[in-house]
Amino acid sequence: MDNAVILAGGQGKRMKADMPKPLFKVLGEPMLEWVIGACEGAGISDLCIVKGYRAEMIDEYLDGRYETVLQAERLGTGHAVMQAVPFLKKNTDGNTLILCGDAPFIDSETIKKSLEQHKANGNAVTVITSELDEPKGYGRIIRTADGISSIVEEKDATPEQKKIKEINSGAYWFRTADLIESLGHLTTDNSQGEYYLTDTIYVLLEQGKRADAFRSENPNVVLGANDRKGLLMLNKTAREDIISRHLENGVEFTCTDGITIGRDVVIGAGTQILSGTVLSGKTVIGSDCVIGPDCIIENSSVGNGTKLNYVQCYDSKIENNVKIGPFVQVRPGSHILDGAKIGDFVEIKNSTIGECTAVAHLTYVGDSDVGGCVNFGCGVVTVNYDGEKKSRCTIEDNAFIGCNTNLVAPVKIGKGAYTAAGSTVTKDVPADALVIERGEARIIEGYAPRKLKNRKKK
Ligand code: UD1
Ligand code: CA
C-alpha cells in the first residue's frame, strides 16, 4: 500500500508568529490541511507528519487523526524524512509520497498522475516539478536523455544551472524500500551543511536505479509563503482559482470584491454571489439563490431559490425559497423550512422555523420549535434561559404572536392561538385561544399638570 510523509517541521520566522508555518491558514484552513486533503483525495490516507517547531501545536491541531514523528533538530529535508523511517518500515512494499506541509496547492490529480508514471517507468524516485519564469531559490532539475541526473540547490548551482526553469516542487514519489535504503547514505557535504533529501537521487542512480521527473500541469504546486505578504498572495491565488471554478459551473458574480469561498463549498448553477460574502467549511448552496451582499455562511446548507441579504449563518440548514435579511444571525442548530421569511434584526438559535412562517423584525427565537404559517409581530422574545437552564418553546401551526410578546420557556402556544401584544406568556395556551398576560390599564386623570408644577419649582 502506498503512503505519504508530510514535512511540517518549519517555523516560518518571517511570519513573526509563534506557530509552525504549516498551520498558517489559506482561505480559513491550515496549509497542512490542504496537503492532507490532496493526499486523501488521491486515495492515500496512511500518513506520517514530521513535526519540529512547536510540535505540540501540530499535535493539538491533528488531534490524533494521523501518525506524527518529531524532528528535534532541523538538519535538512533528508534528516526530516529520516525521522519517519520507523513509519516507512511498517510497509516497505509500496511507494511513498513526500510532501511539504507548507505548499498547499499540491493537488490530487498531480499526485495520482505522477504515481502512474512512477510505477509505469519502474522509477526508484519521481520528482514532481514545475516550470517557473522566476526559478530563483528553488532546486533546479538536471534532465538527461533518460530521466534526471540530479537536483541542484540555488546555493550550489553554477550560473548556467541557475538558468534552468524546471524546478523541484519539493514533492516526490519514492519506492519505499529504495527511500529507506538511500536515506542511510546521505551526508551533509554541501553549502548549507544539511542532509538534502534531493541527494537520494545520486545514491539511487549509483545503484543503477531510475530517477525521473514528472512535470505537473498545475503551476501552483510549488507555491508557499515565507512571510505575511506571501501568505496573502496564496490566499489571493486560491480565491481566484475557486471563483473561476464556480464561474465555470454557472455561478454568477458581478464582482468578486471581498468574496471568499472555501475549497469544499458547493454552489448550484444560476446562484448569484454578491460582494463581501464569505462561504466556508462544508457549506452547500443550491441553485438560483442570491447570497449577499455581506453574508457569512459557515458549515450550512441552503436550498434552491433562497435569498440571503446581510446574513450570518452557522451550522444550520436553510431550505428552499426562504428570504432572510437584512442583518440576521442564524446560530447553530437551526432549521428554516421552505418559504419562511425572516426580516431585519432577527436572531434564530437552535430552532426550527416552519414553512411559510414570518419572523419579520426585531425578534429573538432561541431553543424553539415553530410550526408553519406562524406570524411573529415585531419585538418577540423567547425567554429560553432562566439563569440556570435553557428550556424550549413550542409554537404550533398558524399561531399569531403579538408584538412585544415574551414567551417564557417552557411554554406552548397551540395551533392558531393568539398572544396579545405586550404579553409575557408563562402558561401554555390551547389551540385557537387568545392569551392576554399584562396588567389592566389604569388611567390617572390630570396627572401631567401636577407633575409639571413640581418640575417648575425645582
Ligand atoms: C527544498 C528542496 C528544493 C525545492 C524546495 C521546494 C532540498 C535540499 N531542497 O528546498 O530543491 O525546490 O524545497 O520548496 O530538499 N523541513 C523540515 N525539516 C528540515 C528542513 C525542512 O521539516 O530540517 C521542511 C520544511 O518545513 C518545508 C520542507 O521541509 O516544509 C522544505 O524545506 P525548505 O527549507 O522550505 O526547502 P529548501 O531546503 O529551501
Ligand atoms: Ca533549506
Is 212 part of any domain?
yes
Residues 121 and 180 in one domain: yes
Domain that holds residue 148: 3-222
Residue 230's contacts (CB-CB under 8 Å, 6 or more residues apart) are 224
CA 55, CA 260: separation in Å to the nearest integer?
30
Enumerate residues lining ligand 1, CB below 6 A. 7, 9-10, 50, 52, 71, 74-77, 79-80, 100-102, 138-139, 151, 153, 167-168, 170, 196-198, 222
Share of the chain above pLDDT 90, in %: 96
Show which of 192, 222, 252 is a domain's final residue. 222
* Ligand 1 atom nearest 78 alpha carbon: 15
- My answer on whether 185 and 280 are in the same domain is no
DSSP character for 263? T
CA 359 / ligand 2 centre spacing (Å): 59
Beta-carbon contacts of residue 245 (< 8 Å; ≥ 6 apart): none
CB 5 within 8 A of CB 87: yes
Distances (CA, A) of 384 to 280, 316, 456: 29, 19, 45
In this structure, which ligand is nearest to the CA of 137?
Answer: 1
List Cβ neighbours of 338 (8 Å cut-off, separation of 6 or more). Answer: 303, 319, 320, 321, 322, 355, 356
| 211 and 309 part of one domain | no
β-pair type (252-253, 166-175)? unpaired
Q: Dihedral sign, CA of 184, 185, 187, 190?
A: negative
Angstrom distance (rounded) from CA 134 to CA 456:
83
Closest Cα to atom 9, ligand 1: which residue? 139
Query: Per residue in 194-249, pLDDT tens?
Result: 999 999 999 999 999 999 999 998 989 999 998 999 999 999 999 999 999 999 99
Name the domain count of the chain.
2
Atom of ligand 1 nearest to the CA of 224: 14
**What DSSP line would sit under 91-113, residue for residue?**
--SSEEEEEETT-TT--HHHHHH
Do 60 and 195 lie in a common domain? yes
| Nearest alpha carbon, ligand 1 atom 1 | 170
**pLDDT mean over 298-321:** 98
Task: State the distance from the centre of ligand 1 to the C-alpha of 76, rounded, in angstroms.
Answer: 7
Ligand 1, atom 24, lies closest to the CA of 7
Residue 37, pLDDT above cutoff 90: yes
For residue 170, give the ligand nearest its CA.
1
117: CA distance to ligand 1 center in Å? 24
- Give 76 Cα–ligand 2 centroid separation in angstroms: 6
pTM equals 0.88
- pLDDT of residue 348 exceeding 90, the answer is yes
CA 195 to ligand 2 center in whole angstroms? 10
| Exposure class string for 298-319: b at 16+ Cβ within 10 A, else e | bbbbbbbbbbbbbbbbbebbbb
CATH number for the domain that contains residue 244: 2.160.10.10
Note if the bond before 86 is cis, omega within 30 degrees.
Answer: no
For the chain, how many residues are written? 458
Q: Which residues are known to be catalytic?
A: 361
Do 215 and 321 have their domain in common? no
Residue 272 within any structural domain of the chain: yes
Is there a single domain that holds both residue 212 and residue 350? no
Q: Dump pLDDT digits (tens) for 107-152.
A: 999 999 999 999 999 999 999 999 999 999 999 999 999 999 999 9
